[in-house]
């Protein structure tokens, strides 16, 4: 579908209420130049939409906000309560949009950790391949992800996720906690 977005008929949404989107009332599709579009019943076609998690840790498959960015204004079109309710094709488009927005490496194995130039040097396996990076040894560069995970942010602000420390091998966990003790 390559419907052109309709910018003329935007009913004023109540900013104090959440509009939940369901497959009955909204259609998620590609439009102009393969940009993500959302057509909402009794509303309009929104072009150039991105998706964002409301609860990325607690509910990664639900409560996904679809946001339209106009010239300046960001506007939430609505929130998908459960992506599984949507047709597969629509769910895939939302997943792709999320994958584009969240560029995060998920660490699957820690090969080595050490201390270099006052940084924590890490050599890891991630879902995006092997990676070696330096992380400033500060609290704000290794923040909690849920109760048992950590997000590491390297010198370039790239993000590396350990979803659950308990799932690391004993040696890896011991090495990890030796440096990232908080």
141, 122 in Cβ contact below 8 A?
A: no
Stretch that binds other proteins, among 14-22, 79-87, 92-100, 164-172 (CB under 8 A): 92-100
159, 151 in Cβ contact below 8 A?
A: yes
Q: Which two tokens stand for residue 54?
A: 């409301």
12 makes contact with other proteins (CB under 8 A): no
Of positions 69, 84, 89, 169, contacts other proteins by CB under 8 A: 69
x/- track of binding to other proteins for residues 152-171 (CB under 8 A): ---xxxxx------------
Stretch that binds other proteins, among 16-24, 58-66, 127-135, 162-170 (CB under 8 A): 127-135
- What lies within 8 Å, CB to CB, of 47 at 6+ separation is 4, 5, 31, 32, 35, 37, 68
Taking the complex as a whole, the smallest distance from the CB of residue 146 to other proteins amounts, in Å, to 15
179 makes contact with other proteins (CB under 8 A): yes
106 makes contact with other proteins (CB under 8 A): no
Q: Which is nearer to other proteins, 24 or 34 (CB)?
A: 34
Spacing of C-alpha 110 from chain mean position: 23
| End-to-end Cα, the chain, rounded Å | 50
Distances (CA, A) of 89 to 23, 65, 106: 12, 18, 25
- Contacts of 121-125 with C-beta under 8 Å, sequence gap 24+, read 122/152, 122/160, 124/160
149, 104 in Cβ contact below 8 A?
A: no
136 makes contact with other proteins (CB under 8 A): yes
75 makes contact with other proteins (CB under 8 A): no
Of positions 21, 38, 47, 66, contacts other proteins by CB under 8 A: 47
Of positions 111, 128, 148, 167, contacts other proteins by CB under 8 A: 128
Return residues touching other proteins (CB under 8 A).
4-5, 7, 31-35, 37, 47-48, 50, 69, 71-73, 96, 99-104, 117-119, 128-129, 134, 136, 138-140, 155-159, 177-179, 181-182
């Amino acid at each position: 579908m390559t419907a052109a977005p309709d910018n003329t008929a935007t009913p004023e949404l109540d900013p104090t209420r959440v509009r939940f989107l369901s497959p009955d009332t909204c259609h998620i599709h590609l439009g102009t130049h393969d940009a993500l579009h959302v057509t909402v019943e009794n509303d309009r076609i929104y072009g150039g939409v991105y998706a964002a998690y409301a609860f990325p840790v607690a509910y990664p498959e639900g409560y996904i906000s679809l946001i339209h960015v106009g010239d300046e204004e960001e506007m939430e079109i609505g929130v998908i309560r459960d992506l599984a309710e949507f047709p597969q094709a629509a769910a895939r488009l939302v997943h792709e949009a999320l994958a584009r927005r969240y560029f995060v490496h998920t660490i699957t194995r820690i090969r080595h950790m050490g201390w270099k130039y006052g940084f924590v040097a890490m050599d890891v396996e991630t879902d995006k391949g092997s990676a070696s990076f330096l992380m400033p040894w500060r609290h704000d560069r290794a923040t909690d992800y849920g109760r048992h995970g950590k997000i590491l942010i390297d010198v370039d602000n790239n993000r590396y996720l350990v979803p659950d420390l308990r799932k690391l091998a004993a040696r890896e966990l011991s090495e990890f906690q030796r440096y990232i003790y908080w």
